């Protein structure tokens, strides 16, 4: 049963030049109770506008937003059963950690005893016991982010909104916080709505992902389904990395640049395409293997890049460049300038709409 409902929400902004931008164009969503839901897309796609509309920081032009059966789009932000964690943390620098966490509870006239209990519990949830008397300037970036989370969790919201909260952290710390956020969500059972433009972040944490483009949701599904079965070329290219190759369909398969050919047994069986005309093929770099013969695709190695656990081989097929990701051990790594053959793994290639 849906817990957070978004129905036909629209939001239009006027540009300084007098034009209009449709930030949200008839968006509808049903988010389940206790779900870690991710809204993903490039800058300007509408994901943050929707998050701000749920929080009450923006008001939609039309449509409805409800939480647990209560309509909230027509009430002030402070009356909504949601809380928001921002990218900037927004901690009060003159307050201690415990004062920062307690601030919102004090505004709600919660008793001092309950405030003390909630602050202690929130600090324990984010594993920062013993930091209560410190000020934000005495904490690392990762610790400040945890305090911002503790402050939001202490208010016991029905929905926790997170607006790119990890983007200011370095890679190793960001990955650690991804694990912590997922743990917190599972332990608390709170519905998390997480906005990001980072595909890896979305894939590693989300129960489901809504991919946005130009104010619309273009695909909504689990991370695995979106990665393996993108609905169009935009999703295939935006989620992870993929090779998009223009080809020509025949009864037996698809002809590609440079004389390459992909037979139907290399194409996912759920993909439908005709027997003639142009077609776009999507192949993930990790779905290629080297062929000792000519292979389905034949080209010249343009570059070889060692990344540790894999080797990225850039291959030029006529005027189209593709990337193959090969294991850095156990397989032969071709040399720059060498002519090689590549085969997609069985059923790994997909035809996608433009």
pTM (2 decimals)? 0.89
Contact predicate 42/197, CB 8 Å? yes
The per-residue pLDDT for 294 is 65
User: Could you tell me the two tokens for 28?
Assistant: 């509808």
Distance CA 280, CA 352 (A): 6
Distance CA 88, CA 250 (A): 53
Domain 2-233 identical in fold to domain 243-352: no
3-state secondary structure of 53: helix
CATH 3.40.50.300 fits 2-233, yes or no: yes
Contact predicate 151/70, CB 8 Å? no
Question: 65-97, pLDDT tens digit by residue?
Answer: 999 999 999 999 999 999 999 888 788 999 999
Q: What is the pLDDT along the chain (354 residues), one digit of tens a residue?
A: 689 999 999 999 998 888 899 999 999 999 999 999 999 999 999 999 999 999 999 999 999 999 999 999 999 999 999 999 988 878 899 999 999 999 989 988 999 999 999 999 999 988 888 889 999 999 988 888 889 889 999 999 999 999 988 887 788 888 888 888 899 899 899 999 999 999 989 999 999 999 999 999 999 999 999 999 999 999 999 998 999 999 999 888 899 877 888 888 889 988 888 888 899 999 999 999 988 766 678 889 999 999 888 899 999 988 889 999 988 777 788 899 999 889 899 999 999 987
Integer-rounded Cα radius of gyration of the chain: 24
| Domain residue ranges in the chain | 2-233, 243-352
The architecture of the domain spanning 243-352 is Beta Barrel (2.40)
């Amino acid at each position: 049963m849906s817990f957070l409902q978004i129905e036909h929400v629209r939001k239009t902004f006027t540009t300084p030049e007098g034009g209009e931008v449709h930030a949200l164009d008839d968006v509808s969503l049903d988010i389940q109770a206790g779900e870690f839901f991710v809204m993903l897309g490039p800058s300007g796609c509408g994901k943050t506008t929707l998050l701000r509309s749920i929080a009450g920081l923006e008001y939609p032009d039309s449509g409805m937003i409800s939480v647990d059966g209560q309509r909230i789009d027509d009430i002030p932000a402070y009356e909504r059963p949601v809380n928001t964690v921002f990218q900037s943390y927004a901690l009060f620098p003159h307050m201690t950690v415990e004062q920062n966490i307690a601030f919102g509870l004090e505004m709600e006239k919660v008793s001092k005893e309950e405030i003390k209990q909630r602050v202690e519990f929130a600090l324990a949830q984010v594993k920062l016991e013993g930091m209560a008397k410190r000020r934000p300037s005495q904490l690392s970036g990762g610790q400040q982010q945890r305090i911002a989370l503790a402050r939001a969790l202490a208010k016991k919201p029905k929905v926790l909104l997170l607006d790119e909260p990890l983007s200011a952290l370095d890679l190793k710390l960001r990955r650690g916080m991804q694990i912590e956020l997922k743990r917190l969500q599972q332990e608390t059972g709170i519905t998390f709505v997480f906005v990001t433009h980072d595909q890896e972040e979305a894939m590693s944490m989300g129960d489901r992902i809504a991919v946005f483009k130009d104010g619309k949701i273009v695909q909504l599904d689990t991370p695995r389904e979106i990665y393996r079965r993108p609905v169009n070329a935009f999703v295939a290219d935006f989620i992870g990395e993929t090779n998009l190759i223009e080809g020509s369909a025949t009864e037996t398969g698809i002809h590609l640049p440079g004389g390459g050919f992909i037979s139907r047994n290399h194409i996912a069986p759920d993909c439908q395409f005709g027997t003639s005309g142009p077609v776009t093929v999507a192949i993930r770099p990790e779905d290629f293997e080297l062929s000792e013969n000519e292979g389905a695709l034949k080209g010249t190695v343009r570059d070889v890049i060692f990344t540790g656990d894999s080797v990225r081989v850039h291959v030029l097929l006529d005027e189209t460049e593709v990337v193959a990701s090969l294991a850095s051990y156990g397989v032969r790594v071709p040399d720059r300038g060498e002519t090689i053959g590549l085969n997609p793994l069985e059923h790994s290639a997909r035809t996608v709409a433009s």
